[in-house]
Amino acid sequence: MAKIVRATAFANNEVAFIAWETDPPSIPGCLGFHIVREYLDAGGNTTDERPLASYVAFEGQDNPDWQPQNTSVWPVQKFTWRDLTLRRRRDAATLRPAGERVRYRIRAVGRFEPGMEAVIVVPETHTDSRTRKIVENRYAGTPIPLGYLTPAEHTNIVEVTSSRPPFFTTFTNGILSTQFLVRVLERDGKIEPGELESHLRRPGDWLRNYLAGDTLTTIRGFFERPGGRFHAALYELEDAELEQLLADNAERLDLILSDAGSGKGDEEDEDGKTPTVYDTRNAPARARLRKLAKKKPTAFAMQDRMFNGSGHIGHNKFVVHVDDAGRATSVLTGSTNWTWSGVAGQSNNCIRIDDADIAAGFLDYWQRLHDDAQPTPRPLSARNSGAGQNDALKQAGQTPVTATLTPPASVETWFSPNMPGKKQPPAPKAARPAPPPPDMARLFSLMRKARRSIFFLVFMPSRGGINSIVSEAVALGQKDSSLEVVGAISDTQAMWGYRPGSTDEAGNKVAASSPHVFVQGGVSVVRATALTDREIGRQLGNFQLDETLTTGRAIIHDKILVLDPTDPEHCTVAFGSHNLGYKASYANDENLVIVRGHRALALAYAAHVLDVYDHYRFRAAEAEHAKKKRGRAAAGQFSGFLATADAWQQRASRRLSRYFTETLL
């Protein structure tokens, strides 16, 4: 009898990742898997249940409005799945409560035949934007009744939480699903130009809070600590709520604020040229806080750290709390810039670390930054070509700050820049490439010791991924086909396989190209393809998302590396502001935290990586589909992916399901 032999799950505070194996590997007549989330009480008893959301229809069906069904209608044709609605509701832009204990029930299904136990369809509904009545979700095409082929198999129990002492982990929901946004923004019957950005900028806005997840509450909660002072080093500050948070705590705040953004000025110089002006993004907040600092000179201290076009950036985003006795108690760090797009429009992580030794390392670094005062350009918006960190700061960054947690867990924190002198990252094709900076050398060393898996998310570590964890991960995966290498890259130019524009032998210009996916053996890397519905041929009423929701072109802003997350002793996770390439170590103010032996933390970050990777993997597949169908208007529109025969099982990869079911149970 066919059955599911192993099933496992793990989660963070946002999503869960589920994996299972079957016997036999291919089940005759199988059209996928019906997955149900079960809620449990403290005694392990089921109190409620709900089938997981599903959006992809069978071949011959169509879901033009991208309305969710669930796996009682459209089963999962994979051997891994992510529970996207564990916190994020499928029918509204609201979050479910954290702290739930859940497990998953999985059964294989096929076309219903007499004698089979039927799958009972669970209807999905939404509120009609015009009538305000609750109506059932619809799709086009003939339904396929389903029946069960296997007994139920349960996963382990997982807790939906951010708390993994001494770490408190949060992740943004800023992977903007354009179809979902259309539905929620059309609730009043129309979408105005700029409406999405207006939502994301507005403090307290329902959509902003939804997309920010627990990140905003974590930042706000950090400043609720009684007594003491806060020492902050920030790259970007362009969010009204977070600026106000700093102002409200000004009497116990020491802030180092770097420059961010540039553009053309309004006036021409004496040569008739329009010069570049700097700090365009931070200037308004800087001016307001500077006035506040003048009003409270004995309480609020603010230092400008202006690199303005010098080739360096003050890329940190951390805050340290120091108690009344002068002892560092906790630090807030991660990839989240203090901007409206950072907290609600991008994929980011924000983590609080309640460890005195780690916090003390950040505090010492903050003081070194403070002592490394940069020249002040006049005006502040002018180019500051003479700016650059001093050698004392760089030398100090060559040795990590270490901390021991409950064995076997340990932490090392690296600070940048850490390459003394005026060195710059070596060119990718240099005849004699320079050795990697010390923090990157450490990451490479750990990656080479990976036993089963390497997972990553990056924004822009380097052009083409060279001299970064991308090139190292791909090289390791190509040498060892048993290694699982899974990652997502945001910037087009950072994608593995990127080719810059060039000129051929005939003098014709060849446009730059960047693949959507790179797959080879166990290596699977995808680019964060910010698809619009025009690009995939899906019509949505009388407007197009690329014209109306331009802010919805979300990016991956995370900088995450996870190694062997299921291994209790050797699991490793790296995070912080560091872009995980050479340039960050050579030129930027950065922090990089490496945690080893903390499996709960590694699994939380792995769940986030796989969530983002799967999201963009699907979009990359849509992009490839659109590319093949380009020029055929009618064929360009999707009509579903799910196969109506069991041959999909031979095509489906079992690598990740095998890895997690073998190592996590």
CA 367 to chain centre: 30
Q: What pLDDT is stored for residue 640 in this prediction?
A: 61
Q: What pLDDT was estimated at residue 550?
A: 41
State how far the Cα of 269 lies from the Cα of 89, in Å rounded to an integer.
54
Return the closest-CA partner of residue 653 out of 477, 524, 563: 524
Quote the distance between the C-alpha of residue 484 and its chain's center.
19
pLDDT of residue 431: 62
In angstroms, rounded to a whole number, what is the distance separating the alpha carbons of residues 169 and 353?
A: 9
Indicate the DSSP class of residue 159.
E
DSSP for 324-345, written as a single string: TTS-EEEEEEES--EEHHHHHT
Does any domain span residue 596?
Answer: yes
The C-alpha atoms of residue 449 and residue 570 are separated, in whole angstroms, by 9
The residues, any chain, with a CB within 8 Å of residue 391's CB and separated by 6 or more, are 420, 421
pLDDT of residue 161: 96
Residue 142 domain flag? yes
**Domain match, 8 and 82 both:** yes
**Is residue 216 within a helix (H) or strand (E), and if so which, with residue range?**
helix 215-222
Tell me the C-alpha distance between 32 and 77, whole Å.
4
On whether both 219 and 320 belong to a single domain, the answer is: yes
Helix (H, G, I), strand (E, B) or coil at 368: helix
Q: Let me know whether 206 and 224 are in one domain.
A: yes
Residues present in the chain in total: 665
Q: Is residue 640 part of a domain?
A: no
Neighbours of 445 (CB within 10 A): 10
Per the structure block, which two tokens stand in for 401? 């700050």
Is 624 within the bounds of a domain?
Answer: yes
Residue 364 is encoded by which pair of tokens?
């010492």
SS3 416: strand
H or E, element range at 412: strand 410-416
The domain that holds 563 is classified in CATH as 3.30.870.10
Task: Using the 3D structure, point to which of 126, 160, 194 is the last residue of a domain.
Answer: 160
In contact, 126 and 134? CB cutoff 8 Å? yes
For residues 393 and 379, membership in a common domain is answered with: no
Q: Do both 420 and 524 map to the same domain? A: yes
Cβ(450)–Cβ(473) under 8 Å?
A: no
Which pTM value belongs to this model? 0.93
Is residue 102 a contact partner of residue 40, using CB atoms and an 8 Å limit?
yes
Query: Both 335 and 438 in a single domain?
Result: no
Element (DSSP H or E) covering residue 242: helix 240-248
**Residue carrying the six token digits 């500077």:** 290
Domain-ending residue, one of 384, 417, 452 = 384
Task: Give the SS3 label for residue 432.
Answer: coil
Asked if 470 and 489 count as a contact pair (C-beta separation under 8 A), the reply is yes
In a domain, 152, yes or no: yes
Q: Which residues contact 343 (CB under 8 A, 6 or more apart)?
A: 172, 174, 208, 211, 212, 215, 216, 219, 239, 242, 336
C-alpha–C-alpha distance, residues 619 and 530, integer Å = 8
Q: In this structure, is residue 638 part of a structural domain?
A: no
User: Regarding beta strands 276-278 and 262-264, do their DSSP bridges make them parallel or antiparallel, or are they unpaired?
Assistant: antiparallel
Q: Verify that 305 and 448 share a domain, yes or no.
A: no
- Cβ-based neighbour number of residue 509 at 10 Å: 8
Q: Which of 384, 412, 429 is the last residue of a domain?
A: 384
Say yes or no: 205 and 179 in one domain: yes
Same domain, yes or no, for 97 and 210? no
Which amino acid, residue 42? A
- Provide the residue type at 184 as one letter: V
Q: Put residue 537 in one of left, alpha, beta given phi > 0 → left and psi -120 to 50 → alpha.
A: left
Residues 343 and 447 grouped into a single domain: no
Judgement on whether residues 377 and 407 belong to the same structural domain of the protein:
no
Residue 266 falls within a domain, yes or no? no
CA dist., res. 88 & res. 173, Å (int): 9
How does strand 338-339 pair with strand 237-238? parallel
Block means of pLDDT (10 residues each) for the chain, length 665 residues? Answer: 96 97 97 98 95 94 88 98 89 83 98 97 84 88 97 97 97 72 68 81 93 95 96 97 96 96 75 84 95 79 96 97 97 97 93 98 98 95 94 97 94 97 77 85 98 97 94 97 96 90 85 90 86 41 39 74 97 98 96 98 98 86 63 43 95 96 91
- Give the DSSP per-residue string, 453-479: EEEEEES-SSGGGTTBHHHHHHHHHHH
Q: How many domains does the chain contain in total?
A: 3
Q: Pairing relation of β-strands 517-520 and 523-527? A: antiparallel
Domain that holds residue 58: 3-160
Tens digit of each residue's pLDDT (9 = 90 or more) over 86-103: 998 876 778 888 899 999
**Mapping DSSP to helix (H, G, I), strand (E, B) and coil, where does residue 300 land?**
coil
273 in a structural domain: no
H or E element in which residue 81 lies: strand 80-83
- Which region, left, alpha or beta, applies to residue 44 given φ > 0 means left and ψ of -120 to 50 means alpha? left
The reply to whether 446 and 380 lie within a common domain is: no
CA distance 415 to 399: 8
Question: CB-based burial of residue 292 (10 Å sphere; 0-12 exposed, 13-18 middle, 19+ buried)?
Answer: middle
